[in-house]
Structure 1
Amino acid sequence: MNIEVIKEFVMQNWLVIVVALIILFFVLNVVKTMLKWAIAIIIIAALLIYSGISIEQIKQTVTDVQSSTMDTLKKEATSIMLKEASKATYAAGKNGEFTITSPNVELKGSTKSDKVDVTFRGISVGEWKLDNDTIRTFVEQAQKNKTAPAS
């Protein structure tokens, strides 16, 4: 490859390269499975074959990668919930609020609501409905394990 061509590409597409590197850094630090390497390869390949893509297309790609990453995080969180249910602790708070914690997952919710806020390895993965069997099992197991007052 010609060095001048590479320099010109970097100068014209520095923003795309920075966005790709940020996404790549995020994926490599958050996703802890073989999937992270697949996503990393896709990002690098997309960057290498990139040419003439508009800002709207970049936004769509970032949204797609973000959505894919969040889906992966949700699947991992669900899997970890099943594995860590026996280690989960249930802390009841005021007005029916509760917090369930395990080594990698934290759920916060209220007995008055059918939704809980889920945090996986310190990263919020959104609000999930309690109609999911895995979450319901996680909550029930945590209630059986230990009940402590919430702080």
Structure 2
Amino acid sequence: LYTQYEKEGRFVKQVTARSLWFAILDCQVETGVPYMLYKDACNRKSNQQNLGTIKCSNLCTEIVEYSSPDEVAVCNLASIAVNMFVKADKTYNFAHLKEVTKIVTKNLNKVIDVNYYPVPEAKNSNMRHRPVGIGIQGLAD
């Protein structure tokens, strides 16, 4: 569609890709935003392809989920401090990390059931897909 719209003159202002790219980079250096996300790449890799086209992500772009008129995608996120599993002898307690990860996963799943949903479309999506995301922090410690 991009090239078709360009040929048809369906734009308000035309700028070079290079000048647009440098404007985005300047903004990122100064403010940290905008977050860049490539819709085509997300849709090619999505495990929700059967539902339809993903049109956007959450603000920080770590979650990419399908939304529709009857579904508003919801993030159920947690983070595990991986530095907390380093033992006194400087070895890593992978068994304890596994236990904690299981607990976090189960608790996030429970959050979906007891959460407050400001709009019914958010509840519809969360109950239907039960999306959870578990990140890590503390790698540099």
TM normalised by structure 1 equals 0.28
Counting helix residues as a fraction of each chain, which structure ranks higher? 1
Counting strand residues as a fraction of each chain, which structure ranks higher? 1
RCO comparison, higher one (Cα < 8 Å, 6+): 2
